[in-house]
Amino acid sequence: MERPPIVPTGGMTTYNMQHGFSEALVRGMRSGFLGDADYHHLTQCETLEDVKMNLQETDYDQFLSEVTVVTPSIIQQKATEKMVTEFQYMRAHSVEPLSSFLDFIAIEYMIENVMLLLKGTLSGRDVNELMEQCHPLGMFKESTMRLCTTFDNSPKGYSDLYQTVLVETPVGKYFSEILAEKSAMLENAGEVRNVLEEVEIEILKNSLMKLYLEDFYYFCEEIGGETAPLMCELLKAKSDQRAINITLNSFGTPLNEPSMRDGDGWPTRKSLYPSIGFLYPEGTELLVKVSDEQTLGQAMEKIGGVYAQIWNTHVNEAISDKSIDDAFFEREVEMLELAFENQMHFACFYAYTKLKEQEIRNLVWISECIVQQQKEEVNKFVPCFSASAPWRNRRP
């Protein structure tokens, strides 16, 4: 299905006519984030029933009212369902190009779901269990999703897989691009089979995410206006984070072999780096050459700036008590919060979704600490819109 033509978003005189109501919705929902006082009360809870009671005084209200036994996984499930309901409400009241923009946000979760289904199927897991684990924001036609798990280990089975996963799903074009690099004849079921058998699922997932981020980036550039610079900054930071994590996670795997780091073939480590970002191209060229954590640290020091600081957090994790993921989350939350400072752009919709995702991670972390009686760890999360956030108190 071809993407609808992009309609100019307009300036101050026309933006509100097209998208004013939708932006008013997301900015109203922004006021529902948990505040510092809410987090303080949650971290003082002794049981998950106390957590449930405290959340009733927030925007989450009665979202656990029908739950008899509260667990961290139930809190995650119900909070995610609430976020998805709000997202779908905004999507239902949007017009182009905002509709396509919101669809782009959902595609990331669709990729996660498809890869979960493929990985689970190859491991012989139950389809119903896999469907329950899929993110609700990444759900598409259920019959197609179930078909993803029913292919046989035969040429006909892989041909059917191509027809369902690679053609019928919203992420089909990214699969097709990957297979086009591997084979000139996509109709050849054996080639589809070889890709899934020879390439690890994580490599395939990283390849899909690379193509998705690039596609989303160029779409935002086409939209123009205030949306383009704000969203391109966010997607560049996201791409850099993926490039660094891919490099770090490749150590001890075939991707770290000299022949697999560079080159024009697929898959190589270089081929998994997005061709956008603050690091691209000079920084990613440095990442291609690293072979261990020491050389990666040298590359990060040479790059400097925020990435050198993030790497120092990783190196001094035992001292700072923060992981590299925590450092990336903090930087992302800062950039997402700043997206709400401007008006008449689409970046606030992306920021809202990602910040809600972070808030849900915070709830799960607090709940797990309570269940495991690790109260000394309970404050190690990244709050959203916190008055005490480090970047808000940074001196000029």
Which pLDDT tens digit goes with each residue over 267-308?
789 999 999 999 999 999 999 999 999 999 999 999 999 999
Quick one: tokens of 132? Answer: 């329950």
- 3-class SS of residue 373: coil
Check pLDDT > 90 for residue 392.
Answer: no
Q: How high is the pLDDT of residue 152?
A: 63
Summary mean pLDDT of the chain: 88
**Over residues 93-122, mean pLDDT:** 92
Q: How high is the pLDDT of residue 185?
A: 40
Q: How high is the pLDDT of residue 162?
A: 65
Q: How high is the pLDDT of residue 182?
A: 63
CA distance 232 to 150: 38
Number of H helices, E strands in the chain: 20, 0
Would you kindly state where each structural domain of the chain is located, as residue ranges? 17-393
Q: How high is the pLDDT of residue 277?
A: 97
Cis? peptide before 274, omega within 30° of 0: no
Q: How high is the pLDDT of residue 70?
A: 96
CA distance 374 to 362: 15
**Over residues 350-354, mean pLDDT:** 98
Which pLDDT tens digit goes with each residue over 186-245?
444 445 555 444 457 788 889 999 999 999 999 999 999 999 999 999 999 999 999 999
Which residues have C-beta within 8 Å of that of residue 248, sequence separation ≥ 6? 293, 296, 324
Q: How high is the pLDDT of residue 184?
A: 46
Residue 150: φ, ψ to 5°: -110, 5
